[in-house]
Chains A and B, each alone.
Chain A
Amino acid sequence: MSITVLLLITGLGLGALYFLVASGLSLIYGLMGVLNFAHGAFLTLGAFIGFEVSRAVGATTWPGFAVAVVLGALAGAAIAALSELLLIRPLYQRHIEQVLVTVGLGLVTVALYEGIWGTDPIFISGPAWLDRTTSVLGANVPNDRFLAIGAAVAVLVGLVLFLKHTRYGLVIRAGVENRAMVTALGIDVRRSFTLVFTIGGAAAGLGGVLASQYFGYVSAHLGGTLLIFAFIVTVIGGLGSLTGAALAAVLVAVPQQFANYYLGIGDLIAVLALALVLLVRPSGLMGAKAA
């Protein structure tokens, strides 16, 4: 029983990380038709900035950790916004080239991170509470799981509220459905491109700081590893659907944890799930709509 609870909550924590990456991927794809291969790099930058901040201000205290989280998210947002403005925008409407450019950006950034922070993982620690465990139904669950889950839920709720109740959210939802018609209503849809990149980058940066707590280290390849699973989650959830991504994140991560524990083949489960979903429903669980 206790092991089931532990695996379940750990799986949810992993799913939370997947969602933090996949939410941005999904929105970006839904609105712009661009699969962003640089998204992992946004996450990794968030993780490294979080790490640097903790070194500088001492992230073993809660205020220090909070600063690390905020700056990590801001770093993710900043690099994402710059990428959109400098690399994606000049290739407006040329989707293949846009994807290629994000592939290139992914290569460049990872190489740069390796140059700056080295190739080996750097082990880190946060506030003492995160390293402790909480007993849930007899299972000793590491606290960082709860933090990841809480953050992902907050991001999901925040994004849904944003999409439902703001003018920008309205434009994004409409753009996911029919971008050309949005421009034909006199709206400069490119501004929302930058916006979704920024939002997605912020979520990824936040995910980076939390992922480094979850795994206990930062490395230049942190984002790349998560990105592949986030892709799977995005496709299973239905490209462009936020709630689909949330659902799929859980559906991928939890079985993955169980399969890893009992069979040692968790990663294969995720792939099988993808094949299965695409065979049964080629458009993913939720099709394309923003919320």
Chain B
Amino acid sequence: MDFWIMIEKMLEGFEKTCAIFFLTLLFSLPLGMIITLLSKSKLKIVSGITRFVISVLRGTPLMLQLIAVTYGPYYLFHISVSREKLIPVVIAFSINYAAYFAEIYRSGIESMPVGQYEAAAVLGYSKPKTFMKIILPQVIRRILPSATNEIVTLVKDTSLAFTVSYQEMFTIGKQIANSQTSFVPFVVAGIFYYVFNALVSFIMRRVEKSMSYYKM
């Protein structure tokens, strides 16, 4: 196969890789916050169940969760597996990453000094206002480094979608490598991931910098 045709095919796959990446971030970042708030609920049942779900999501392989979300409906309810696998893939990734982001948010929230809540209470801020205006902005700053780690991992983890044969870049690279008995597609895939991650790290560093205008 011509080198450029291979690149073209892999670029098509790269679009899908990007789709997984951005959609997962879009859903998992807010979902993680909801999970955090549920896990801190005063209702013991709610927080207990939420913590259990988090531990399952973090304690089992993402690969397994991908297979469960993609093929589970077929085995359980005989719903045929749709050919468009983007939806189950994004659902599995979003839920899994939400669990990780939830833990990051939780540790960030718990690192906030209690004096911030007390000063806000005395000034008459309501609980939601205290959280949105005073706690959350500082939490975001505090968790940015660990969130960056998680996002960099996500770039690499998108390749796990090959387990359900979703046609993202790694899956396509693997197919070409098999049919051509060539190692080149893997090298190309590696370069793509590396460049993508370099870009992600660069952007995150800029964001971190833009938020470090004050001393904590």
Judge: A and B partners, yes or no.
no
